[in-house]
Amino acid sequence: MMSGTVLINCSPKRRLSASGFLARCAAGLIRGEKRVLQLRTPADHPAILEAIRTAEKVVFVTPLYVDSLPSHVLPFMQKMEACCRENRLRLKVYAIANNGFIEGRQNEPLMRVMENFCARSGLTWCGGLGIGGGVMLNVERIMLTVLLGLTALNVVLRAAQGESPWEPLRSFAVSAGELLLLACGIIALMLRLAYHVNRGTDAGKRYTRIMVPSFLFILFADIFFTVVSVLQGGIFRGWLSRLKPTGGCEPAVSGKQ
Ligand SMILES: Cc1cc2nc3c(=O)[nH]c(=O)nc-3n(C[C@H](O)[C@H](O)[C@H](O)COP(=O)(O)O)c2cc1C
């Protein structure tokens, strides 16, 4: 008897991935038996294939890489196709994709890849959700966690001094409300997708984004990537690095004669 949902977190990141967060949120909204499994290396394939053999639904939760699925997911999909054909599996497949740029619609080619994969593997494509501004979503949820921690500390310190805890709690509620407002499209469409997964019905394709005006998003993104670039080795590291590309990119003939 096939039952339950397997959520496959396809991010190659070990920790703090937007896909991992979205997979856990979706699992929280999906009823019945469910498992969240991570797909990072070929060593993860057997456990995931084993899990989907007895599942009824599969949700791929993935980042968008170069307008498609990350390359490490493709060998798994080939194995999954063979496994589904051999065992005549009739899974219902959904996808939740997030991307770095602001427009969630950038995930459309990925959704088509998933649809073709399902057609080829004899599976039922049930649609998905594409989320723009995935990095910002990740930053948001980390901020929310940090704020929660600071608020708890503030409340404890105030209580020790005999002061009322309401001011830090009020301030936290306002900040949390603002952060949730930025993610309102994602929350609404995640609830909608979970509703369809629970019923096993076609969710169609939907796209949303972090609700930040594009010009502000670009400004934040530029600052974020400049800081990350500086922290990880210098803003001009690509131009000034002494290291030269190796392997297939080496010029066939050295410049030195
Ligand atoms: C190799 C690579 C390729 C990417 N290609 C795209 C892309 O084509 N379009 C886009 O909007 N974001 C792209 N991104 C950004 C990721 O989709 C984005 O950072 C996402 O939030 C990562 O999700 P994760 O935390 O679940 O891994 C790319 C990131 C990497 C590392």
Is residue 27 a contact partner of residue 8, using CB atoms and an 8 Å limit? no
Q: Which two tokens stand for residue 213?
A: 């005006």
245 lies in some domain: no
Is residue 174 a contact partner of residue 203, using CB atoms and an 8 Å limit? no
User: What would the pLDDT profile of 20-54 be if each residue is shown by its tens digit?
Assistant: 999 999 999 999 999 999 999 999 999 999 999 99
Q: Please indicate whether residue 134, judged by its CB atom, sits closer than 6 Å to ligand 1.
A: yes
The pLDDT mean for the chain works out to: 91
The whole-number pLDDT of residue 255 equals: 40
Q: Which two tokens stand for residue 241?
A: 């690095």
120 lies in some domain: yes
| Greater model confidence, 255 or 34 | 34
CA dihedral defined by 162, 163, 166, 172, rounded to 10 degrees? -100
Cα 153 to middle of ligand 1, angstroms: 35
Name the residue of 7, 15, 64 to mutate for ligand 1: max ligand atoms within 8 A of Cβ: 64
The whole-number pLDDT of residue 256 equals: 41
Which pTM does this prediction carry?
0.89
Q: Please indicate whether residue 65, judged by its CB atom, sits closer than 6 Å to ligand 1.
A: yes
Name the residue of 24, 66, 232 to mutate for ligand 1: max ligand atoms within 8 A of Cβ: 66
159 lies in some domain: no
Minimum CA distance residue for ligand 1 atom 4 = 65
CATH number for the domain spanning 33: value is 3.40.50.360
3-state DSSP call for residue 116?
Answer: helix
d(CA 134, CA 22): 10
Q: What is the mean pLDDT of residues 238-242?
A: 62
177 lies in some domain: no
Closest atom, ligand 1, to C-alpha of 64: 17
Contacts of 17 (CB under 8 A, 6+ apart): 9, 11, 63, 138
Residue 249, pLDDT > 70, answer: no
The whole-number pLDDT of residue 3 equals: 84
253 lies in some domain: no
| Greater model confidence, 250 or 178 | 178
Closest atom, ligand 1, to C-alpha of 68: 8
The domain total for the chain is: 1
Name the residue of 15, 99, 208, 225 to mutate for ligand 1: max ligand atoms within 8 A of Cβ: 99
| pLDDT tier for residue 75 given thresholds of 50, 70 and 90 | very high
Minimum CA distance residue for ligand 1 atom 17 = 99
| pLDDT tier for residue 221 given thresholds of 50, 70 and 90 | confident
Is residue 123 a contact partner of residue 92, using CB atoms and an 8 Å limit? yes
In terms of residue numbers, what domain contains 207?
Answer: 5-135+184-232
User: What would the pLDDT profile of 108-145 be if each residue is shown by its tens digit?
Assistant: 999 999 999 999 999 999 999 999 999 999 999 999 99
d(CA 119, CA 81): 10
d(CA 237, CA 242): 9
The whole-number pLDDT of residue 245 equals: 61
62 lies in some domain: yes
Is residue 10 a contact partner of residue 40, using CB atoms and an 8 Å limit? no
254 lies in some domain: no
Q: Which two tokens stand for residue 8?
A: 């496959």
Q: Which two tokens stand for residue 207?
A: 């796209």
